[in-house]
Structure 1
Amino acid sequence: MCTAIIGIDPSSPVPVLLAGVRDEFVNRAWERPAPHWPDRPGLVGGRDLRAGGTWLAVDPAAPRAGVVLNGRGRFAPEDRRASRGELPLLAASGADPGALSLDVFDPFHLVAAEPGRVRLWSWDGDALTEHELGPGVHIIVNSGLEGGGGPAPADGPDGGPDGGAGDGAREDAYMAARLSHFRPRMLTAPRPRPGFGDEPAGKAWGAWLPLIDGDGLARADHRALLPLIDLGGGNVWGTTSVSLVALAADDARYDFSAMPGDPAAWTRVL
């Protein structure tokens, strides 16, 4: 049940703001954001140690960012499945997923953001659709932009549902509740204008930060942006990290928290 929140204001000195919430089994190993990929110099992101890719990547020199969420639809054949963790690296590099052989990927939603343009691609295992995101606040969850589209997921190839924890009907209900709670708050919150100096995250992200830190909801709440769900048998699913990225014409800011919901846990990556 990952979430991406994107604020676009072409008239602002910082036209693109991006929040990336990563949900995963909490025992899945990963490394904090850094330039982990020697063959992709300049790209920064957290690295998943199982597959080697990432969920969010930033190229500060471009500047550009890419973020991926699990989607819904037909899974790729197991014998030639490729990791979706490669996709944010490609998006942050400026690549167009339409030029790829997508049938090796399980369904996904991929955002490529740069100061003058934000695009969303959605792959359901059969067809690729592209949206150009305009001014305003956009929320993307596993069922798509603003939660619109796609049947409830079946069990995914990792043994759990493709987009999150629990059965598909429950996941749909959780995503609907999350959108219902957070969308009006994000729309009415004063838009931050993060600086690129040494200001702390609390000052840089203003009214967004308490919302991204969970808005005071318990992590077991069905509306939670930062869920934490005990599935039993030692399996716990939930938010393992949160990223905030700001893109200006010639600069990027990247703040990161490995302790979701703790306002003191934010560190500056870029």
Structure 2
Amino acid sequence: MCTLIVRTAPHLTLMGVRDEFADRPWEGPGEHWPEYPGVIGGRDLKAGGTWLAVNPAARRAAALLNGHGREAEERTRLSRGDLALRAAYTGEEPGSDLTRYDPFHLVLADLSRVRLFSWDGERLSSSDLPDGTSMVVNSGLDPDSERVVTYLPRFRDSATWAELIKEEPSPDRSALIMRHELPDGRIFASLSVMEVEIAPGGVTYDFTDLTADRDG
């Protein structure tokens, strides 16, 4: 996932846009992990993890984005896809030893607070997201990101977000919904969108497969 939008009122809402290589296999949301009973998310079939996990019983969600920094050693590297699952299931922050993970941003959200954990390969930092609407991208909570500058005002001003994900995919990597063909012919694109709403009365989610009507 390359973009996460979070709104804290009137209900806690998260929308994750996942950007990935189009040929990387995945499947839509479900309870795919017996070791995390009750946790729902789309599953990456290559590494087995997820990019956005929801725990309805706990009124909690966690989202993972790739970060920037020093990568882990290849021979000992662990997939980051398990981090969102564990956070949604336990409500706990990432473990103390993260040296086997590549850089990441992890958002852990419930009705009491929304926290952002950022690991750059050397140091873990944490902060609370402010009230209102925020966007997290691969550079973190970055107000100077071109994507944030372009789209955050639109998300702040929109009562509903459904229309904002219906724009045509753009080859511009700063676009919210993007589709870029690399020199080797592979496609890197926005593959799906998941919107989660957490309220005292329950949790709902809506999943959009952006590849359903596309070739390649």
TM-score (normalizing by structure 1): 0.74
- Correspondences of 1:1-270 after superposition (within 5 Å): 2-9=2-9, 12=10, 14=11, 16-147=12-143, 176-190=145-159, 207-213=160-166, 216-259=167-210
Residue 260 (structure 1) shift: 6.2
Give the number of aligned pairs: 213
What per-residue deviation string (whole Å, max 9, x for no partner) do you get for residues 109-146 of structure 1?
00011122111100000111101112111000001103
Residue 233 (structure 1) shift: 1.8
Residue 181 (structure 1) shift: 1.6
Contact 1:55 1:85 in 2 (8 A): yes
Contact 1:226 1:261 in 2 (8 A): no
Residue 3 (structure 1) shift: 0.2
Poorly superposed stretches of 4+, deviation over 6 Å: none
What per-residue deviation string (whole Å, max 9, x for no partner) do you get for residues 84-133 of structure 1?
00011011113433434211110000001112211110000011110111
Contact 1:61 1:250 in 2 (8 A): no
Matched letter for residue 184 of structure 1: P
Residue 178 (structure 1) shift: 1.9
CA distance in 2, matches of 1:184, 1:218: 20
Residue 180 (structure 1) shift: 2.1
CA distance in 2, matches of 1:184, 1:98: 31
Contact 1:111 1:121 in 2 (8 A): yes
Structure 1 or 2, whichever has the larger Rg, is 1
What per-residue deviation string (whole Å, max 9, x for no partner) do you get for residues 22-62 of structure 1?
00000000111100001111011111111111111101111
TM-score (normalizing by structure 2): 0.92
Unaligned runs of 5+ in 2: none
User: Partner of 1:41: helix, strand, or coil?
Assistant: coil
What per-residue deviation string (whole Å, max 9, x for no partner) do you get for residues 202-254 of structure 1?
xxxxx3111133xx354224542011000022311011111000001241011
User: Partner of 1:38: helix, strand, or coil?
Assistant: coil
Q: Go from structure 1 to structure 2 and tell me whether the alpha carbon gap of 1:180 and 1:261 turns closer, same or farther (over 3 Å shift).
A: farther
Contact 1:141 1:147 in 2 (8 A): no
Q: What is the root-mean-square deviation of aligned Cα atoms in Å?
A: 1.8
Unaligned runs of 5+ in 1: 149-175, 191-206, 263-270
Matched letter for residue 212 of structure 1: I
Residue 73 (structure 1) shift: 0.4
Contact 1:140 1:147 in 2 (8 A): no
Residue 261 (structure 1) shift: 10
User: Partner of 1:181: helix, strand, or coil?
Assistant: helix
Q: Go from structure 1 to structure 2 and tell me whether the alpha carbon gap of 1:39 and 1:187 turns closer, same or farther (over 3 Å shift).
A: same
Residue 147 (structure 1) shift: 4.9
Q: Go from structure 1 to structure 2 and tell me whether the alpha carbon gap of 1:222 and 1:233 turns closer, same or farther (over 3 Å shift).
A: closer
Equivalence for 1:204: none
User: Partner of 1:101: helix, strand, or coil?
Assistant: coil
